[in-house]
Amino acid sequence: MRDWILHLDLDQFIAAVELQRHPELRGRPVVVGGDGDPTRPRTVAATATYEAREHGVHSGTPLRTALRRCPDAVFLPSDPPAYDAASARVMATLRDFPVDVEVWGWDEAFIGARTDRPETLATAIQRAVRDRTGLDCSIGIGDNKHQAKLASNLAKPAGVHRLTSDNWAHVMNDRPTDALWGIGARTSAKLAELGLRTVAQLAAADPRDLAARFGPTNGPWLRYLALGKGETEVVTTPWIPRGHSRETTFTHDLTEAADITAAVAGLAEQVAADTADAGRLATRVTVKVRFTPFLTRTRQTTLPAATADPATLTHAALTALGRFDLTRPVRLLGVAVAYDMPDQTRTARS
């Protein structure tokens, strides 16, 4: 018996929930996003079925682009309450097992378990999720969260895969650095400039060279990932949101300062209402502005005291907005608040 970290990832979750409600669409390319109108500008796909992905449609693909790439696709509107309910049923199923569960959003969770047969446990979890919710999931098994997260991706669709320190080098060494969880395309490109293109090359890199290029904390951390290391803690308390945000992409760019100010004020009032409804207090307000075509900048204001007062939050948002140079057309505005966070307990697993 030993401790394991499992990562459960629900396969094409949003699309799968929609297919349960529309079984006649099974086997067809389906794209979910916005209000379901693919001709509406500046709306993107929340997800797509595997059949749509074969045509190059993925999460984040503009719906107009999705329509061009896959004109035969069926477009459906997003329905977050339905996804909340489906996710809750899955997580309740996991908690029926003698394991620790850390929820990471609608469609994924880390599971801490003590067992001598992790594959057997993973298969039992898959079966229970399927029987109770009708949803398929992939499960990765690892010594830590990093390994388990990568393993679940290797298990797709609806499989089980083990990735541990024992087989890490065999599975990962020849893969590009952006195959690691936490390394994106930009960081991978910067690593390539140093001649570090594979996981093995990054693992063998001098930490001092990485620190010089990426900073004293981030540099060595990149090598840490390449060595297959990762967190082994599972949060056993319910997930608590760290903040809330609202944003709007405009059909036509905003060019007048008064219109921009009014839009930010309106978003701030919505976020204030969300904060009050959640029974929380905000400590910081952030405003996001996306200029045409895609330049995005943020400014923030730290509040003197935690509050949910709409007037205070709106004033803070407008103060942050005042630090932007609004000489270019604006295509997106967002307002976010960070909450005053209580302590969360953790269960350590080695």
Same domain (yes/no): 88, 1: yes
Are the beta carbons of 300 and 256 closer than 8 angstroms? no
pLDDT exceeds cutoff 60 at 298: yes
Same domain (yes/no): 31, 141: yes
Is 259 part of any domain? yes
% of the chain at pLDDT higher than 70: 96
Average pLDDT score over residue span 38-64:
89
Q: Give the pLDDT confidence of 154-190 residue by residue, as tens digits.
A: 999 999 999 999 999 999 999 999 999 989 888 999 9
Same domain (yes/no): 22, 141: yes
Number of domains in the chain: 3
Predicted pLDDT at 295: 87
Predicted pLDDT at 180: 96
H or E stretch at 183: none
User: What is the token pair recorded at 258?
Assistant: 């008064």
What is the domain-level CATH number for residue 283?
Answer: 3.30.1490.100
Same domain (yes/no): 227, 285: no
Is 133 part of any domain? yes
Are the beta carbons of 270 and 247 closer than 8 angstroms? no
Is 102 part of any domain? yes
- When the pLDDT of each residue in the chain is averaged and rounded to a whole number, the result is 92
How confident is residue 343, by pLDDT bands cut at 50, 70 and 90? low
Same domain (yes/no): 115, 152: yes
Q: Give the pLDDT confidence of 220-259 residue by residue, as tens digits.
A: 999 999 999 999 989 877 666 788 899 888 878 899 999 9
CA 46 to centroid of chain Cα atoms: 12
How confident is residue 300, by pLDDT bands cut at 50, 70 and 90? very high
Same domain (yes/no): 8, 147: yes
Q: Which of 231, 225, 221, 216 is nearest to 177 (CA)?
A: 225
Is 78 part of any domain? yes
% of the chain at pLDDT higher than 90: 79
Q: Where among 106, 135, 164 does a domain terminate?
A: 164
Active site residues: 108
Predicted pLDDT at 342: 64
Same domain (yes/no): 27, 75: yes
Q: Where among 164, 196, 214 does a domain terminate?
A: 164
Same domain (yes/no): 228, 264: no
- Show the domain range for 199: 168-233
Is 348 part of any domain? no
pTM: 0.75
Same domain (yes/no): 142, 117: yes
